Amino acid sequence: MRPTRFAERFSKKTGILELMDDLGRAMERGGDMRMLGGGNPAHIPEVNEIWRERTAQILANGAELEETLANYDTPQGKLAFLDSLADLMNREFGWNLSARNIAITNGSQTGFFLLLNLLSGTGTDGVMNRVLFPLCPEYIGYADQAVEPGALLSRRATIELIGDHFFKYHVDFTELDPADDVAALCVSRPTNPTGNVLTDDEVRRLAGIAAAKDIPFVIDNAYGAPFPHILFKDVEPYWDKNVILTMSLSKLGLPAVRTGIIIAAEEVIKAVSACNAVISLANGSVGQVLVRPLIESGDILRLSREIIMPFYRRRSQQAVESLVGAFGEDVDFRIHEREGSIFLWLWLPELPVSSAELYERLKQRGVLVVSGHYFFYGLDDPWRHAGECLRLSYAQDPMKFQEAAQIIADEVRRIRSEA
Ligand SMILES: Cc1ncc(COP(=O)(O)O)c(C=O)c1O
């Protein structure tokens, strides 16, 4: 293979590659690894039972099986699925959507590759366009997706200290001030990696800034309402004609069906659908066929609010107890407020080694985490805080999380005593 710019850009070692490689190996091989890395959702028995029943129904019904496996969808997605999703969002939130406002992608990761490159890069007028992430740290999966270097910018969050061991990030509106090269704002809400949920006020202010500049505001709703609803506080979902809202079937417990959803103005949906045709012809149908009856009946809301959300809320509580118990009072640590998603974000102030080195040391001891530094990209200046954090998933076995918390605390004590 000759070295091309594309190969150089997309085949290098990235955080998301390290994370997904660790994840895939740990999930497939199992073994003694305590898996707090990657973002694999939990296997919730009640939820898996629903997928089992739906799969059996599809297998029993010849026409549905053929619809699932033997036809290409349109590049926009399965029209019946798009209709049923538009109805659900309109019923739930009073939005005025039609199927023309929705497109399916091969997972929302692919959706973001399309969106970030539709929105950023050199314009037809020759002028550079950038996407601004108003609250850094932000999702690792966006960091390497822009085709053109320098297309992604971020602003540091401000830090509110809460009690002795907790904290919360906020958008620093005094520093936000998007310049003319900013062509879109983008946030994940709930935020991966921190479990933060931007307040209604923050979202409305960001939407106002985007509208005033006539640029899209992308809200990544992979963990949000109405499904999978991994939200531990009451917030208003937000959409307006300027907003590009993304969703996914992954955190419902279906990451392997690779189904992402984009809800946006018709011109955005047309652009995404055209890209889908060029890149994939059409996307996978299985997720859409599995989930459509739950969307039509509204059962997806009950499943999300009564099973999935309480499951993760319990797990997050157990995870905090494990960490607080393991660290005790002799080690300086802080945990981000638990407001949603499937992660705890651990801050180790003044950590004497980098979080990347701590990741390596923990891996040697059978604990997989994600080093926090990958979530700080697009910043103007280096920020010491970027090397002091770890992302810990609490989706897997709580006993393993507890063992892992003991090992993390022990390793941090060891590092501090060596310093
Ligand atoms: C915030 C966020 N956005 C997007 C994705 C991509 O999800 P998928 O491609 O599985 O739909 C993830 C996955 O972890 C995520 O956490």
Taking CA 371 as the corner, what is the angle to CA 330 and CA 175, rounded to the nearest 5 degrees?
A: 95
SS3 139: coil
**Predicted model pTM:** 0.97
For residue 158, count CB atoms less than 10 angstroms from its CB and return exposed for 0-12, middle for 13-18, buried for 19 or more. middle
Considering Cα of 226, then 295, then 265, then 68, what sign does the dihedral take? positive
Q: How far is the CA of 415 from the centre of ligand 1 (A)?
A: 33
Mean pLDDT per segment of 10 residues, for the chain of length 419 residues? 89 85 76 88 97 97 91 97 98 97 98 98 97 98 95 98 97 94 98 97 98 98 97 96 97 98 98 98 97 98 98 98 95 96 97 96 95 96 97 96 97 93
What ranges in 126-261 are assigned the alpha helix state H? 173-176, 200-213
DSSP β-ladder status, 343-347 and 334-336: antiparallel
Q: Is 238 in the pocket of ligand 1 (CB under 6 A)?
A: no
At 181 the pLDDT is 97
In short, whether 188's Cβ falls inside 6 Å of ligand 1 is yes
CA 14 – ligand 1 centroid, Å: 16
Is the beta carbon of 224 within 6 A of some atom in ligand 1? no
Q: Which atom of ligand 1 is nearest to the CA of 250?
A: 10
- If one residue of 19, 20, 114, 250 were mutated to test the ligand 1 pocket, choosing by the most ligand atoms within 8 A of its CB, it would be 250
- The gap from C-alpha 46 to its chain's centroid, in whole angstroms, comes to 23
Supply the pLDDT for residue 30: 66
Cα–ligand 1 centroid distance for 20 (angstroms): 12
